[in-house]
Amino acid sequence: NIGDISKIPIIEPTESQCENVINIVQKIISISKKDWDSYETSWNFKINSLLKNQTSQIKDGYQSFFSECQQDALSMAELESSNNNNFIHYYGLENELKGDVKVNEVSLSSNPFFRYGKDLLPEIQNYRFQSDTFTEFLSYTIGCMMGRYSLDREGLVYAHEGNKGFAELVSEGAYKTFPADNDGILPLMDDEWFDDDVTSRVKEFVRTVWGEEHLQENLEFIAESLCLYAIKPKKGESALDTIRRYLSTQFWKDHMKMYKKRPIYWLFSSGKEKAFECLVYLHRYHDATLARMRTEYVVPLLARYQANIDRLNEQVDGASGGEATRIKRERDNLSKKFNELRSFDDRLRHYADMRISIDLDDGVKVNYGKFGDLLADVKAITGNAPEII
């Protein structure tokens, strides 16, 4: 009870001691807030850290960011140590306690020596931090494609419901430097079937921010960074193909982890063959989104698959040996994708005709379950198997 609490001995600090403690604590709060707000899950997130310093090469931007992170961790360790030692001194506990805080004990997300645990070698911690920095960069890039973020405005730009007010933002020039996608539907494919797929737009984003001169070097640095941890390196793969492989195989998993199974970009998927996959920004989804997905992407892709199958059928007739085997394998793979996509198209048409609306107040868990098996990982998000309507 309060009587017992009042018996706990405390030292009444002097005014000078109070000022010293307050000054240290304010600096600690400032560094901690800066760290928290540098990640897009913060309400006060403004811009990805790699874009804060104007450079022509993304490598230089990363080195500048990493140096800043190291300095923040060192500063925090010094401040926390000073704070601890002050109170140890005030209470005369110098012979009992030590107040020094090690850098790997500083709990900042931007501190790789804390973020990944003490058991990893510093070199491995740095590799993971670099790789994670670029997965976070790609998430921000997709946010700019969707209109959630913009190179022309800091912070959250669009997070309303049903795409309402988005056209007005466009007309105001909110996305002048790097145009947001016009329908909030981004194909996420393992091959280049669409001009406006995510990978193509990543390249355009890098060109817009860092320029044309070092474009290839910048793409290569992104790819190399991803291969430090996010995905395994693949011999002979181009930088853009590496980025595409990350986006088509790993981005969704990282997005689910970042948003704790309450994704803001929803993955529509035809199935295990991945004949068609796309991301839809939930704040821009409206009752005509599925119809547009079908007419602008799925139906044209069916035609392209069929045309390629026909072409391969012609080629196999004039081929022999290993070449014929390769062509048949490619044709069979395309045929599997074609059949999967045709089935997906039938289901998509059914749901498109229903003109489904979502209510953001109901939350992701409820709304994600309205689309049957058109979406990926329904059970992981809603807790139930897809409900087919």
Reported as a single tens digit per residue, the pLDDT across 43-58 is: 999 999 999 988 899 9
The domain tally of the chain equals: 2
Kindly report, residue by residue over 16-35, the tens digit of the pLDDT. Answer: 999 999 999 999 999 999 99
Burial string for 306-343 (b: 16+ CB within 10 Å, else e) reads eebbeebeebbeeeeeeeeeebeeebeebbebbebbee
Least confident of 119-123, 142-146, 208-212, 256-260: 119-123
Give domain status of residue 313, yes or no. yes
Among 89-93, 265-269, 318-322, top mean pLDDT goes to 265-269
Span 124-130, average pLDDT: 97
34 plus 151 within the same structural domain: no
Classify the C-alpha dihedral 335-336-339-342 as positive or negative: negative
pTM of the model: 0.94
In this predicted structure, what is the pLDDT of residue 258?
98
Both ends of the chain: CA-CA distance in Å? Answer: 58
In this predicted structure, what is the pLDDT of residue 108?
97
Asked if 382 and 369 count as a contact pair (C-beta separation under 8 A), the reply is yes
In this predicted structure, what is the pLDDT of residue 232?
97
Q: Residue 26 CB: number of other CB atoms within 10 A?
A: 11
Sheet with 277-281: strands ordered across: 185-187, 277-281, 265-269
245 plus 316 within the same structural domain: yes
Q: Which two tokens stand for residue 299?
A: 């139906």
Least confident of 81-90, 148-157, 244-253, 259-268: 81-90
In this predicted structure, what is the pLDDT of residue 16?
92
Give domain status of residue 199, yes or no. yes
Name the phi and psi angles at 96, rounded to 5: -105, -35
Asked if 213 and 56 count as a contact pair (C-beta separation under 8 A), the reply is yes
342 plus 372 within the same structural domain: yes
DSSP structural state of residue 161: S
Q: How far apart are CA 99 and CA 95, in angstroms?
A: 11
Span 114-143, average pLDDT: 96
3-state class (DSSP) for residue 63: helix
Span 238-259, average pLDDT: 98
Q: How far apart are CA 108 and CA 11, in angstroms?
A: 30
86 plus 211 within the same structural domain: no
Give domain status of residue 251, yes or no. yes
Q: How far apart are CA 232 and CA 121, in angstroms?
A: 19
Kindly report, residue by residue over 211-240, the tens digit of the pLDDT. Answer: 999 999 999 999 999 999 999 999 999 999
Span 347-376, average pLDDT: 97
61 plus 171 within the same structural domain: no
Asked if 130 and 62 count as a contact pair (C-beta separation under 8 A), the reply is yes
The closest of 70, 32, 38, 40 to 52, measured between CA atoms, is 38
Burial string for 170-196 (b: 16+ CB within 10 Å, else e) reads beeebbeebebbebbbbbbbbeebbeb
323 has a pLDDT exceeding 90: no
Mean pLDDT (the chain) is 95
Q: Which two tokens stand for residue 228?
A: 């430090």
91 plus 48 within the same structural domain: yes
Which segments of the chain does DSSP mark as H helices, in order?
2-5, 15-37, 58-90, 112-115, 122-146, 166-171, 198-210, 215-226, 239-249, 251-258, 289-293, 299-317, 321-354, 363-368, 378-382
115 has a pLDDT exceeding 90: yes
CA dist list (Å): 305 to 173, 244, 350: 38, 20, 22
128 has a pLDDT exceeding 80: yes
pLDDT bucket at 314, cuts 50 / 70 / 90? confident
Name the phi and psi angles at 279, rounded to 5: -100, 140
138 plus 109 within the same structural domain: no
CA dist list (Å): 254 to 8, 138, 244, 268: 48, 11, 15, 16
Q: How far apart are CA 352 and CA 293, in angstroms?
A: 9
Q: Which two tokens stand for residue 337?
A: 């994708």
Give domain status of residue 126, yes or no. no
274 has a pLDDT exceeding 90: yes
10 has a pLDDT exceeding 70: yes
Give domain status of residue 125, yes or no. no
DSSP structural state of residue 104: G
135 has a pLDDT exceeding 70: yes
Q: How far apart are CA 94 and CA 112, in angstroms?
A: 31
Query: Where in the sequence is the domain holding 45, given as residue range(s)?
Result: 2-119
In this predicted structure, what is the pLDDT of residue 3?
77
In this predicted structure, what is the pLDDT of residue 1?
60
77 plus 221 within the same structural domain: no
169 plus 270 within the same structural domain: yes
Give the domain-ending residue among 63, 95, 119. 119
80 plus 193 within the same structural domain: no
In this predicted structure, what is the pLDDT of residue 149?
99
pLDDT bucket at 202, cuts 50 / 70 / 90? very high
Q: How far apart are CA 372 and CA 123, in angstroms?
A: 45
Q: 185-187 and 277-281: which strand pairing?
A: antiparallel
146 plus 16 within the same structural domain: no
In this predicted structure, what is the pLDDT of residue 317?
80
Asked if 369 and 385 count as a contact pair (C-beta separation under 8 A), the reply is no
166 plus 236 within the same structural domain: yes
Classify the C-alpha dihedral 360-363-369-373 as positive or negative: positive
